[in-house]
Amino acid sequence: MWDNILSELLVKHRGKTIGVGLGLIASILLVSFGFWKTLLIVLCIGLGYLLGKSIDDDKNIELWLKKLFKDK
């Protein structure tokens, strides 16, 4: 029974389900840690996602870091 409900939610209402889950996580983080610590957590997650995506796409991370921190 639960398998059918979960599969229907993830197939037919994927965006809504992900949005509700992210909203729940964000609200728990805000109540537990406060705004600024939650913002730092979200930024770290975003940076980790970008770094992981670069690795998955076989991009040269060393070149990207050199561009990011080059002398001006």
Please give the full DSSP string across 9-59, using - where no structure is assigned.
HHHHSHHHHHHHHHHHHHHHHHHHH-HHHHHHHHHHHHHHHHHHHHHHTT-
Residue carrying the six token digits 């599969």: 7
In this prediction, residue 43 carries a pLDDT of 93
41 with 33: CB under 8 angstroms?
yes
Which pLDDT band holds residue 58 (cuts at 50, 70, 90)? confident
* The model's pTM: 0.64
**Confidence at residue 63, expressed as pLDDT on a 0 to 100 scale:** 79
Q: How far apart are CA 18 and CA 52, in angstroms?
A: 20
72: three-class secondary structure by DSSP: coil
Q: Is residue 72 over pLDDT 70?
A: no
Tens digits of residue pLDDT in 3-55: 888 888 888 888 888 888 899 999 999 999 999 999 999 999 988 888 788 77
